[in-house]
Amino acid sequence: QVYLDIYKRRKEDKMITPVLARADWVIEHASSIPLKEDYGKTRWNWCDALFMAPAVYTRLYALTGDKKYMKFADREFKSTWEYLYDQDEKLFYRDDYYFQKREANGQKIFWGRGNGWVMGGLVEILKSLPSDDRKYRPFYESLFQEMAGKILVLQQEKGYWGASLLDSDSYPLPEMSATGFMVYALAYGINQGYLSREVYLPAVQKGWKALVEAVNTEGKLGWVQPVGSRPEKVTKKMTELYGTGAFLMAACEMYRLAD
């Protein structure tokens, strides 16, 4: 995604040629294994992948005009959505391991950062799809708005989102990678007119305040859950690159919002 964004500005072939070669190879060798049987994880069968992969193909579609990239991305995204998205809770399971698992309070397990990855990924798709596209955009806009409504009501009183979205008693402390992605997505939604400013702005402001307060005197963002696949305990001293990245992405949208 980064190389393609730089290519869009500088138009140097070396920035896009390797990405095209790899993407073409992936499409030509696309697996048809059902997600529940894809033990080698050749498909997008965990929710984090919805941040990692689709926006590469939407960017290639926008840059080249070749529909094969969007057809592939849309097919694979919707397969993951059908498999991992809980229509009742409006949230994604991290993967199928958690379908029957429950939190201590009896609620389903929905990982904060996992759903943060999805929200951030939806933003990247909407950012990179051509603005006049009416074949693909409606689905992603609708899913973004639907999830945003759920994310809004799961925000904690102090502005952050926790490691577990439905069990704040077991995980009462902040988790700033999830919070960063949520603020990024909700602020983007306001800026682009997908979300009501009146409804969502207070939540965005509270979330941004929580993020800023999590930066210590050395400039390090704390309360970031380490690499994992499920809700885990977090401490003030924990930090990771993706937490800082989400913070900076949120900052970009907050800057636009302030303007």
> Which of 210, 157, 165 has its CA nearest to residue 183?
210
Mean pLDDT of 142-146: 98
- In this predicted structure, the answer to whether residue 41 has a pLDDT above a threshold of 90 is no
Mean pLDDT of 173-179: 98
pLDDT digits (tens, 9 = 90+) for 95-107: 999 999 999 999 9
Count of residues in the chain: 259
Q: What is the mean pLDDT of the chain?
A: 97
- In this predicted structure, the answer to whether residue 259 has a pLDDT above a threshold of 90 is no
- pLDDT score of 219: 95
Band (40; pLDDT cuts 50, 70, 90): confident
- Is the distance from CB of 230 to CB of 111 less than 8 angstroms? yes
pTM over 0.95: yes
- pLDDT score of 67: 97
Locate 18 and state its tokens.
């390797």
- In this predicted structure, the answer to whether residue 39 has a pLDDT above a threshold of 90 is no
Q: Which residues are catalytic?
A: 48
Separation CA 2–CA 92 (nearest Å): 25
Mean pLDDT of 60-72: 98
- In this predicted structure, the answer to whether residue 35 has a pLDDT above a threshold of 90 is yes
Mean pLDDT of 167-179: 97
Separation CA 96–CA 52 (nearest Å): 18
> What would you report as the CA-atom Rg of the chain, rounded to the nearest whole angstrom?
18
Locate 219 and state its tokens.
């400039």
Mean pLDDT of 113-134: 97
Band (2; pLDDT cuts 50, 70, 90): very high
